Copies of this chain bind each other. A is one copy, B any other.
Amino acid sequence: MTTTYTLNDCDLAAVAALTETIVADPAQAATIWKADVTWNGAFRSEARVRQFDPTPSDEPAGLGGTDTAPNPVEQLLGAFGNCLAVGVAANASAREIKIDSLTISLEGDLDLSTFLGLADGHAGFGSVRARIDLQTEADSAAVDDLIRHVVATSPVGHSFSNEVPVSVTRATA
């Protein structure tokens, strides 16, 4: 099998190099990711990651915001779609499937009662749904298998579907 490194513009050589590094030294698989958030008044804030421009956040007027940016749970859905897109691009390329176009629609339902302090319990998404529209010449069974693999290996999807321990501490002077 010839590996087509440039299929879908994907740099599979970099992924292959990382994979070899981790096979040789499994401790290299342990990564840490970071973000820093600054509150800007009202329900506006922004998240800064590495060298990139900050990503703004707000709430719709109905939730007391000034509606200048997607809210945090919309950002969460966007991150899931972006994660699925990377997963499809990487794994399609590894399988020599050419992507003609790829769009993903996401939705999540959320009961506001806990967030508003009207009930105890789960404040997060009740469920999250994604619909992947992958246009390709590849046969349908190959696409089904690709999507199954992407879902089984999605860092964002698994961060929802599993219990991830969350700890929040207060900075002390």
Task: Please give the residue numbers on chain A whose beta carbons come within 8 Å of chain B beta carbons, in ascending order.
Answer: 8-15, 18-19, 22-23, 26, 29-39, 41-43, 45-50, 52, 55, 57, 59, 61-66, 69-90, 99, 101-118, 120, 122-134, 143-144, 147, 149-171
CB-CB nearest in chain B for A10: B42
CB-CB nearest in chain B for A154: B123
Q: A32: which B residues are within 8 A, CB to CB?
A: 107-110
Taking a contact as CB atoms closer than 8 A, the residue among B48, B85, B132, B157 that contacts A123 in the complex is B157
Cα of A42 to Cα of B93 in the assembled complex, Å: 9
Given A12-B64, A124-B155, A130-B169; A22-B113 close (CB under 8 Å):
yes
Residue of A22, A66, A90, A133 contacting most chain B CB atoms (<10 Å): A90
Q: A45: which B residues are within 8 A, CB to CB?
A: 81-82, 85-86, 102
- The reply to whether A114 and B153 contact each other, CB–CB distance below 8 Å, is yes
CB distance from A45 to the nearest CB of B (A): 4
Q: Main SS of chain A's interface residues?
A: mixed
Cα of A71 to Cα of B89 in the assembled complex, Å: 14
Taking a contact as CB atoms closer than 8 A, the residue among B128, B129, B170 that contacts A132 in the complex is B170
Taking a contact as CB atoms closer than 8 A, the residue among B81, B109, B112, B156 that contacts A124 in the complex is B156
Residue of A11, A105, A162, A171 contacting most chain B CB atoms (<10 Å): A162
Q: Can you list 13 A-B pairs with a CB-CB distance of less than 8 A?
A: A10-B64, A30-B110, A31-B109, A36-B104, A47-B82, A57-B86, A71-B86, A72-B156, A75-B79, A114-B153, A120-B152, A130-B168, A132-B170
